[in-house]
């Protein structure tokens, strides 16, 4: 196997799970492409029982899921009770991804399941709010579907993703360590009653889908492109073949510094020489005047 440094200099294509509608704008070299949301397709039909349940939820729906890596059933008991207490006071239907078979004290407006077709569910017209751990895939799906979000990050890049949601203005952050029934209820009503969250979410959804081709088509095209052109070395940055001091322009800085230093040395030598010559002439002139004065006396 070649070394990692060799692999880095021989990379034909970098496919990023990113898009300007969610991430920050960045300058990319030609062999770096953004295909954020590549896993998101047009909404598919929901299972009949779930569709019937959601169609009947005239007051709206909250979807609560902590993804696949974090299980909400493993939350401390006081946190689970905080969510149950907050949800029980809502008129909305709550779809909760719950990993156990039962939930003691489950409110009547809470529907449990070990799995939901998340991306399709978020596209439903009655879906009002997504409560999530802030994983990249989930956050991109919320962005694509135009759904406001309450982020409760746990690990990895989730804090960064939720922070971007907050910055873009279509969601807020809750810290699980400080979750109480009051904070959950406040967060839900804040997002639902302030139309700005929904408006920002819908704006970003339009930005997400406004592309000349789908993310999958973009990835396929550029993959085939580098295959057609034998790795497409013409797309790679010349910086890949520079040594570290060349990449940091240290050789250029050294040359400029040497030139400036040389000019400074020449200037100092010239000034010192000029000073000596001027001093010598002044001393000679004083000596001549002194001799003339002595002769007269």
- Could you state, in order of their start, the residue ranges of all structural domains in the chain? 4-36+215-239, 48-209, 247-296
DSSP symbols for 118-184: HHHHHTSTTEEEEEE---HHHHHHHHHHT--EEE---STTHHHHHHHHHHHTSEEE--GGG--HHHH
What integer pLDDT is reported at residue 295 of this predicted model? Answer: 60
Residues 2-11: b if buried by 16+ CB within 10 A, e if exposed: eeeeeeeeee
What integer pLDDT is reported at residue 242 of this predicted model? Answer: 85
User: What CATH architecture applies to the domain 48-209?
Assistant: 3-Layer(aba) Sandwich (3.40)
Does position 172 have pLDDT exceeding 90, yes or no? yes
What integer pLDDT is reported at residue 290 of this predicted model? Answer: 67
Residue 165 buriedness (CB in 10 A; 0-12 / 13-18 / 19+): buried
Tell me: the pLDDT tens digits for 91-114? 899 999 988 888 888 888 989 988
Task: Give the N- to C-terminal CA distance of the chain in Å, as an integer.
Answer: 100
- 86 contact partners, CB below 8 Å, separation of at least 6: 181, 182, 184, 185, 188
Query: What is the model's pTM?
Result: 0.77
What integer pLDDT is reported at residue 294 of this predicted model? Answer: 63
Q: What is the DSSP letter of 101?
A: S
């Amino acid at each position: 196997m070649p070394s990692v440094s060799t692999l880095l200099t021989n990379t034909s294509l970098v496919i990023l799970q990113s898009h300007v509608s969610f991430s920050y704008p960045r300058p990319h070299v030609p062999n770096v492409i953004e295909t954020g949301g590549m896993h998101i397709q047009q909404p598919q039909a929901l299972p009949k029982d779930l569709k019937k349940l959601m169609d009947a939820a005239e007051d709206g729906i909250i979807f609560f899921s902590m993804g696949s890596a974090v299980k909400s059933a493993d939350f401390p008991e006081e946190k689970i009770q905080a969510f149950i207490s907050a949800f029980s006071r809502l008129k909305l239907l709550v779809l909760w991804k719950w990993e156990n078979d039962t939930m003691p004290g489950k409110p009547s407006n809470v529907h449990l399941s070990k799995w939901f077709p998340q991306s399709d569910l978020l596209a439903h017209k009655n879906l009002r709010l997504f409560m999530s751990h802030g994983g990249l895939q989930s956050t991109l799906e919320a962005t694509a579907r135009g759904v406001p979000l309450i982020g409760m990050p746990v690990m990895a890049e989730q804090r960064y993703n939720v922070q971007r949601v907050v910055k873009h203005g279509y969601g807020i952050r809750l810290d699980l360590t400080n979750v109480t029934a009051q904070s959950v209820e406040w967060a839900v009503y804040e997002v639902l009653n302030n139309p700005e969250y929904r408006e920002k979410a819908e704006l970003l959804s339009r930005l997400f889908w406004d592309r000349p081709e789908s993310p999958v088509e973009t990835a396929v095209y550029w993959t085939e492109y580098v295959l057609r052109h034998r790795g497409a070395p013409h797309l790679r940055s010349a910086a890949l073949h520079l040594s570290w001091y060349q990449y940091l322009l240290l050789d250029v800085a050294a040359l400029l510094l040497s030139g400036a230093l040389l000019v400074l040395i020449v200037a100092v030598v010239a000034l010192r020489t000029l000073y000596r010559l001027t001093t010598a002439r002044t001393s000679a002139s004083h000596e001549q005047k002194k001799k003339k004065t002595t002769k007269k006396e």
